Amino acid sequence: MKSFYPYFKYLKPVAWTFALALLCGLFFGISSGFGIPFMTQRVFPRIFGEEAENLSLPVLIGIASLIPLTFVVRGLSGFLNTYLINLCGIKILEAIRADIFAKYQALPLGFFQKHSSGDLVSRCLADTNAVQNTLTTVANDLVKQPLTLLGAVGFLTYISLQNREVFFLLACMAAIPACAVPIKIIGKKMLRRSRQTQRQLGDMTGFVSENLRSAREIRAFNLEEPQQYLFAEKIRKLLTLQLKVVKYKKGLPPLIEIIASFGLAFAFLYAYRSGLGLETFLSLFAALYLSYDPVKKLGMMQNQIQKGRGALDRLDEIMREPVTIRDPETPRPIKRLGGEIVFEDVSFTYDADGPVLENIRVHLPPGQVYALVGPSGAGKSTFANLIPRFFDPTVGAVRIDGIDIREMRLKDLRSQIALVSQDPVLFDDTVFNNILVGRPGATRDEVLRAAESAYARDFIETFDQGFDTPVQEGGTRLSGGQKQRIALARAFLKDAPILILDEATSALDSESEEKIKDALRRLVEGRTVLMIAHRFSTLSLVDRILYFEAGRITAQGPHASLYEDCAPYRQLYERQKG
């Protein structure tokens, strides 16, 4: 239970609802554990015993009304308890999911490189649902069942003391501790299997997510049947684990009932040998049954706790993951930056495999276009990613206009930088809103002008709904060139002093590329531009080239100078030009 204590904070917003639910659970426990046995001893004998003939009709009706009254209190309190607890559970689920999603927004990009998107989706949806079920089940039964047990034991004590049969009470209660043995053994197995199940569910979710993202490649390489086979294998593993969880979950109640039956059988024999009356025996039998039933349900609750712990462990990995990229305690106030960028002895490493960047020292004056060139894995993208603080340097500092970017608020810093990726992401929204991402407060006319500057307005207006046309997830309705021009329109709209282009013209045909180059010539004026160049056709816009090799800047300067003095650059250029 200690693992769940941090999550009970989610009960605070629904504290009064939860308190009312617990009060209803109190009435349920008393009416079940004490009320039913008491009614069996006091009500039934008066109706069916010798004194029944002397009872008047009003008295008889009054006695008989105790039966529905007991069950009305029990049923109504049980319903309200369950309903209110589930209401709290829904609120808890909403809050947990919101916190997990908020944590995803704060975690650095390096975290997402180590986890599959499907697994993270599973944690946010399936694991939070499992924790919510556990919290509501525990909160529901943690009051009702112990109170039912205490009520039943209280009645047994009352009857045993009345009949001076204390030994009978102790003998009957001896079976209750015996039930704890299978609960403990099965609980350990349940925890292990639940963890395996949640991991397998995350793996399967990741597989499905990957499959849906790769629909074109799967069909192109005739991978439909192999994918179906792999999915069937994952389903089979998941179902095997789920059946084991079901085995432990459903096997515990009958095991407890079997143990309890020996206690009931003993009670029967002892009552017969002691000459107890039928009404006393029936009330004792009812109290005994009502004392074992909560034990059974508490055992099931223990199983639910272990199942929830499997999901909780996975959520804790997210909640305890350190947020390494965060705002400073006292951020430097900034207005519009000039765009001067300085790397001071910067090194960066993702893990223990070695540095991706090593001892980078470079000064980039504002208002110029810089091309980052070099072989794959040389560190070009990492260099660019350090500027908007997607990562922090392992050693050294990155400064803009003389200010260490770690002294700025992330929102302030990133509002000064526009990014156009090689494979731009479009959200499941309208074309207009996808461009508006660049500057959410922009007017419609500003969005239209940005689209026109990116040579996107013409093709957008051919759509049936124009700028209000929905873009499906991932922009599947658009060509690669159309998606990239919409991404460029965002950059035009943002009008930031620093622009990062990850080969922003790679998906365009020749005619569109020339138009975009003309637009980019206007866009880069007065801005600091870093262009990650995979193709040399865009170098006509560049003032200075930074050549990367094995995490270092080994040469820099204009194209003619590097072509003459840097053999690796010249070889790379000539290979691409043929």
Place of tokens 């307005």: 457
Shared-domain flag, residues 307 and 386: no
Q: What is the model's pLDDT at position 323? A: 84
pLDDT of residue 20: 87
Give me the half-sphere count of Cα atoms (radius 13 Å) on the Cβ side of residue 251. 13
Any idea what the CATH number is for the domain that residue 508 is in?
Answer: 3.40.50.300
- Check if the beta carbon of residue 249 is closer than 8 Å to that of residue 300: yes
Pairing of strands 498-502, 528-532: parallel
* Assigned domain for 335 exists: no
263, 383: one domain = no
Of 269, 285, 319, the residue at which a domain comes to its end is 319
Residue at a domain's end among 253, 288, 319: 319
Residue 329 maps to a domain: no
257 and 181 within one domain: yes
Instruction: Answer yes or no: do 153 and 63 share one domain.
Output: yes
334 is a domain residue: no
Establish if 325 belongs to a structural domain: no
Task: Report how far apart, in Å, the C-alpha atoms of 478 and of each of 89, 425, 459, 470 are.
Answer: 42, 12, 10, 11
pLDDT for 3: 59
Whether residue 407 is contained in a domain is answered as yes
Q: What is 407-469 written as a DSSP string? A: GS-HHHHHTTEEEE-SS----SSBHHHHHHTT-TT--HHHHHHHHHHTT-HHHHTTSTTGGGP
Neighbours of 313 (CB within 10 A): 16
Report the chain (578 residues): mean pLDDT per 10 consecutive residues: 65 83 77 64 61 63 70 80 80 83 84 78 80 70 68 68 58 62 70 76 76 70 80 83 74 69 68 63 65 67 70 81 87 90 92 81 93 88 92 92 93 91 82 90 91 87 88 73 85 91 65 68 83 75 89 90 88 78
What is the edge-to-edge ordering of all strands in the sheet holding 403-404? Answer: 357-364, 341-348, 395-400, 403-404
Beta-strand ranges (E) seen in 482-564 are: 498-502, 528-532, 544-549, 552-557
Domain, as residue range, for 508: 341-577
Angle of CA points 138, 144, 146, to nearest 5°: 90
DSSP E strands, 311-356:
341-348
Report if residue 326 sits inside a domain.
no
Instruction: Tell me the CA distances in angstroms from 246 to 126, 178, 232, 300, one per residue in order.
Output: 17, 23, 20, 11
278 plus 406 within the same structural domain: no
* 278-319 vs 128-162: helix crossing angle, rounded to 10: 150
Give the alpha-carbon dihedral of 195, 312, 96, 104, to 10 degrees.
Answer: -70
Q: Does any domain span residue 471?
A: yes
Q: Is the domain of 50 the same as that of 103?
A: yes
Query: DSSP label at 348?
Result: E
Q: Strands 369-373, 544-549: parallel, antiparallel or unpaired by DSSP?
A: parallel
Do 567 and 491 lie in one domain? The reply is: yes
Q: Which structure tokens are listed for 285?
A: 């039998």
Question: Going by DSSP bridges, is the β-strand pair 369-373/403-404 parallel, antiparallel, or unpaired?
Answer: unpaired
**98-108: pLDDT as tens digits:** 888 888 888 88
pLDDT of residue 166: 47
Say yes or no: 110 and 67 in one domain: yes
Q: What is the spatial distance between Cα 11 and Cα 20, in angstroms, rounded to a whole number?
A: 13
Residue showing tokens 């008889």: 60
Indicate which CATH number applies to the domain containing 77. Answer: 1.20.1560.10
Whether the CB-CB separation of 549 and 383 falls below 8 Å is answered with no
Q: 356 and 294, same structural domain?
A: no
The tokens 């909403």 sit on which residue?
A: 94
- The set of residues, in sequence order, having a beta carbon less than 8 Å from that of 177 and lying 6+ positions away, is none
Calculate the dihedral angle through the C-alpha atoms of 388, 391, 396, 400, rounding to the nearest 10 degrees.
Answer: 0
Q: Are residues 177 and 77 in the same domain?
A: yes
Whether 330 is covered by a domain: the verdict is no
- Statement: the pTM of the whole predicted model exceeds 0.85: no
Do 190 and 227 belong to one domain? yes
Which pLDDT does position 361 carry in this prediction? 94
Q: How many domains does the chain have?
A: 2
Q: Give residues with Cβ within 8 angstroms of 85, minimum separation 6.
A: 18, 21, 136, 139, 140
The answer to whether residues 278 and 423 belong to one domain is no
